[in-house]
A and B are shown apart, each in its own frame.
Chain A
Amino acid sequence: MSLGPHLLLALMEGTVAAFVLALTALGLTLVFGVMRIVNVAHGEFFMLGAVFAWAFAHLVGNPALGFLVAVIASPIVVGGAALVIDRAILRRFNYQPEATIVATIGLLYIIQQLVLIFYGPDARSVEAPINFRVQLPWFGYSGYKLVVAGIAALLLLATWYGIAKTKLGLVMRATQFDSETAQAFGIPVDRVYAAVFALGAMLAAIAGVLIVPIKQAYYLMGLDPLLLSFIVVIIGGLGSLRGAIIAAFVIGISDGVISVFFSPNLSKILATLLVALVLIFRPEGLFGGKAR
């Protein structure tokens, strides 16, 4: 294959990956930004999204309708689970950063093992709601992947709108800026925390639902997105939404291009190296503010 089409495929793969990664990383950085919690179990919400998508699609039967139900119901269920976790665990630790890291590590294993017990160790597939192939002159490409990129773009826009333009977003930003003052002004900070934790989990879950027709639902699938999200969030700056999205595209597209032209291992090495460099020379991340 000549260079042009080769690069085009690399960019397409990278862009689709970047959109899904941006959704997942956005959830992680939102939770950190507002609550100052490093949620190590974030990848498990992604996995739960995929697993519930399988369950809902399986219950409904019809692929298109099943997927539609899954894309709405699965994030709601996962968001509900996140609310319970917030009330039952995180709040009891008063959202202390150290304690919650340990708690979410425990959660990671608990969620993984519960899925293993009730869902099983198999990778189960969910049929794509639309099955078409885009034939370019040099190669074919999955139409569903393009749809995934489109839906993810819409969701990113919606999240941005919600945070920047709505009252709920304003309250969230106020809490992020200074939670004590926010509380003094009558903002119910604990409810904001619960809402943000649920929203973060739902973003990961939607990414999981979108990816499941491509990759199948599997109990260990949360690890990869977790690592990549951390890479993205550290490079972009912990808590910075803009940074997370830009870093997701840098990592996603460079991963696509480097894996296609060189090797996937090299792209992982370079991403990790970038994390190390950022931590040394700009620990607050490319777009993160200085610690207050």
Chain B
Amino acid sequence: MTRSKTPKSNNQKSLISRRAALKGLGAVAGGSAALGLAPGFVRYIQVSAAEPLKIGFQAHRTGIGAAYGRWYERTTNAAVKLINDAGGIAGRPIQLITEDDGTDPKRGSEVVEKFASQHKVDITFGTLFSHVVMGSAPRAGELKMPYYVVSEGHHVASGALNRYTFQPGITDVKAQVSSMAPWIAGNLGKKITMIFPDYAFGYDHRDYFSAAIEKQGGQVLKLLPIPATETSYTKYFPQIPSDTEVLYHVMVGPGVLTFVKEMGEFYGSNRPQIFGFIDSLEAVDIASPGLEFLDGTYFWEAYPRYAQANQSEADKFYRAAVGVDNNGASLEDSKDVATYSHMFGCWETLYIIKEAVEASGYQSATAADKKKLVEATEAMKGWKEGNEHPQGDKTFVGQIHQCFGHQFISKVAGGKLEVVHKTEIADGTYEPETDYTKMAL
């Protein structure tokens, strides 16, 4: 840039911007004076237009949870839009601030920190992978930041976390597997081999399913933990005892398709009964080549991916709002399959946050208001199926910060999942193992 040109352009710019600034200032001053004179509007300005309710959304945009993150975000955005269109939370619009946690515990806790100190959010909400929740929740507790997770893990209900961490929108693994065990023992077999991820989420499956199946007179013949970084699975299959009646599998991460394909290559049509958690196939098209052997196997689903014959009105509404077709894929791309059994938790949790904020009289991000919000959440008892809770009825136990809901067992038939059994909420409930309400706020 030459010297001769610079002053001229600077002059022009500053003239325009000064004029614009003066105009703008005048308009704002005039406008606020006018509104200020009308007393009825004052409260409205303060609470609604000036102060949106800030919700920090911790999302798995990258890393091994990215497929879940993408759908968690779509579901969350859809619910936020609906809530805002209907007048927001306590008359205040939600301002969603999304940050990527990289599916990484360390990053997760940094994101919580950032929400509190930089964005100054009212509430933190979001994430799925149990190690990220375990990494983030302690910081949320220290910051006294209400933290609503949609993670499935038993870590909330077990008492391992703190008074500020809730899981009101999705049933935990302990309840899920306990409600599966009677059906598996009664319909598929009692000699089980379990394949599961070798970390916290997998241990929930190992511990609580083993206990539940033994209660049904069943037996776990062999446990096959798979390291988190594994990318090749064939080498594990020979360890499955040949007298196994039911192969129980649950796997997560980018390797799930490889896992299921290699299982098919190993067994072909000569297989034991196979019962999987849909986690092993979330975001994967069941009609993918190499998965034909799954026909006739069973899956746990929290929420049926394929629209069933008796589809509820709420499910129709929810699918349309999020943009999911009747096969559980994106309306825009039939190859982009949803994480349908998990993401509903974001939708339902946002409506629970709305209810809690409104019940508590929450006003601003102060310690006193956050305490009121925690107590109001703990006081909740459950929710009825409907557009706000499309997955179904739920009960909520305030002491353990955990909800309980119906679960589904689906059979693969013709490349689709057909529900063959729906559990009762009572099938999965258990005695509280902790009481968060007795902890200091």
Contact = CB atoms under 8 A, between A and B. Distances in A.
B138 interface: no
Interface string A240-273: 0000000000000000100110001100000000
Contacts of B261: 142
Contacts of B288: 125
Contacts of A139: 237-238, 266-267
Contacts of B227: 264-265
A213 B252 CA distance: 19
A256 to B, nearest CB: 6
B434 interface: no
B62 interface: yes
Interface string B137-155: 0000000000000000000
Given A142-B265, A215-B255, A265-B227, A122 B66 contact: yes
Given A121-B63, A131-B289, A265-B227, A1 B254 contact: no
Given A123-B257, A127-B289, A215 B268 contact: no
A212 to B, nearest CB: 11
Contacts of B254: 122-123, 216, 218, 220
A1 B242 contact: yes
A134 B254 CA distance: 26
A175 to B, nearest CB: 36
Contacts of A128: 289-290
Interface string B212-241: 000000000000000101111011011100
A133 B268 contact: yes
B258 interface: yes
Contacts of B69: 121
Interface in A1-47: 1, 5-6, 9-10, 13, 17
Query: Interface centre among B232, B262, B268, B288, by most A CB within 10 Å?
Result: B232
Interface string A112-136: 0000100011110101100101010
B191 interface: no
A264 B235 contact: yes
A9 B267 CA distance: 13
B356 interface: no
A123 B242 CA distance: 32
Nearest to A141: B265
Contacts, number: 81
A98 interface: no
Among A10, A116, A139, A140, max chain B CB count under 10 A is at A140
A214 interface: yes
B235 A131 contact: no
A140 B237 CA distance: 11
Nearest to B103: A121
Contacts of A120: 66
Contacts of B63: 121, 220
B342 interface: no
Given A215-B258, A224-B229, A256-B235, A121 B289 contact: no
A230 to B, nearest CB: 16
B61 interface: yes
A10 B235 contact: yes
Interface in B164-193: none
A6 B69 CA distance: 39
Contact of A131 (B70, B232, B290): B290
Nearest to A2: B242
A1 to B, nearest CB: 5
Given A121-B61, A224-B229, A214 B66 contact: no
B235, B254, B257 pick with most chain A CB within 10 angstroms: B235
A17 B238 contact: no
Contacts of A123: 67, 254-255, 257
B410 to A, nearest CB: 22
A5 B239 CA distance: 12
B16 to A, nearest CB: 36
B230 to A, nearest CB: 7
B206 to A, nearest CB: 16
A218 B289 CA distance: 19
A110 to B, nearest CB: 16
B255 A260 contact: no
Contacts of A214: 232, 258
B238 A260 contact: yes
Contact of B232 (A13, A125, A141): A13
B268 A216 contact: no
A71 to B, nearest CB: 18
Contacts of A218: 254
Contacts of A140: 265-268
B226 to A, nearest CB: 8
Interface core residue of B227, B255, B290 (most chain A CB under 10 Å): B290
Contacts of B66: 120-122
A129 B269 CA distance: 22
Nearest to B229: A224
Given A116-B62, A121-B62, A9 B231 contact: no
Contacts of B242: 1
Given A133-B268, A256-B235, A216 B258 contact: yes
Interface in A203-228: 214-216, 218, 220-221, 224
Give me the 10 closest cross-chain CB pairs, A-B, nearest first.
A121-B66, A123-B254, A142-B265, A121-B62, A140-B268, A259-B235, A260-B235, A1-B238, A218-B254, A6-B238
Given A121-B62, A125-B257, A220-B64, 10 more contacts: A1-B242, A123-B254, A123-B255, A139-B237, A140-B265, A140-B267, A141-B266, A259-B235, A260-B239, A264-B235
7 contacts: A133-B268, A139-B237, A141-B265, A214-B258, A215-B232, A215-B255, A260-B238
Interface of A: 1, 5-6, 9-10, 13, 17, 63, 116, 120-123, 125, 127-128, 131, 133, 135, 139-142, 214-216, 218, 220-221, 224, 256, 259-260, 264-265
Interface of B: 61-64, 66-67, 69-70, 227, 229-232, 234-235, 237-239, 242, 254-255, 257-258, 261-262, 265-268, 283, 288-290
